A and B are shown apart, each in its own frame.
Chain A
Amino acid sequence: DAKTTQPNSMESNEEEPVHLPCNHSTISGTDYIHWYRQLPSQGPEYVIHGLTSNVNNRMASLAIAEDRKSSTLILHRATLRDAAVYYCILRDLPNSGNTPLVFGKGTRLSVIA
């Protein structure tokens, strides 16, 4: 499985933009890049996903490098409720047909008021 590398932790001030990086240098052409987050005492929550082009939704933006070896999750204005562990996950379709989400250690984002 292609692996991802994320910083262990990051800190942001409230109402400022946050850029969460993810390296995935061994990504294959069919891997989708997914981001999930896990707030304290809750289950993981989908944030955004993309393949090649940058993506925007109501929660965040995903910027994907042209060579697809890295991506950045952008929270445009961090709030205290955004404090969570953010996971960057590559998702492919192996021969087995099973597509589990493989969670690494993620980045723990702290937001300071």
Chain B
Amino acid sequence: EAQVTQNPRYLITVTGKKLTVTCSQNMNHEYMSWYRQDPGLGLRQIYYSMNVEVTDKGDVPEGYKVSRKEKRNFPLILESPSPNQTSLYFCASSLSRRMNTEAFFGQGTRLTVV
């Protein structure tokens, strides 16, 4: 079954404690993204990757890092989480960055930073 898998689904952590949210897709997709969803602000893109070893900032990249060492995996790293990073995070992948391709989203990771 084609899917995007994120882990963990829920995470509570303390300010400053480094964490990684994993994302894996089994569709051999080139284009992957991370979004955060906040009430009243909708979904906003954090980082994206057009292929292995090619990553770039989205609209709200501050406080986040990503890596793309393999095509299937695109982890989101918070080196020193802060309470304003409390949010619902989604990983997405699509075959390419072309405008006529559909995106597949993970189930989400609800992160709380205290």
Contact = CB atoms under 8 A, between A and B. Distances in A.
| Residue from A43, A92, A93, A101 with most neighbouring chain B CB atoms (10 Å) | A43
A45 B107 CA distance: 10
A48 to B, nearest CB: 9
A96 B28 CA distance: 23
Interface residues of B, number: 25
Looking at chain B's contact residues, is the secondary structure mostly helix, strand, loop, or mixed? strand
Contacts, number: 61
B48 A43 contact: no
A89 to B, nearest CB: 10
A103 B58 CA distance: 14
Main secondary structure of the interface of A (DSSP, over half): loop
Contacts of B64: none
A95 to B, nearest CB: 13
Interface residue tally of chain A, by bracket? 20 to 34
Given A98-B48, A101-B43, A101-B92, 7 more contacts: A42-B107, A93-B97, A98-B45, A99-B31, A100-B45, A100-B48, A101-B103
Interface of B: 4, 31, 33, 35, 42-43, 45, 48, 50, 56, 58-59, 90, 92, 97-100, 102-108
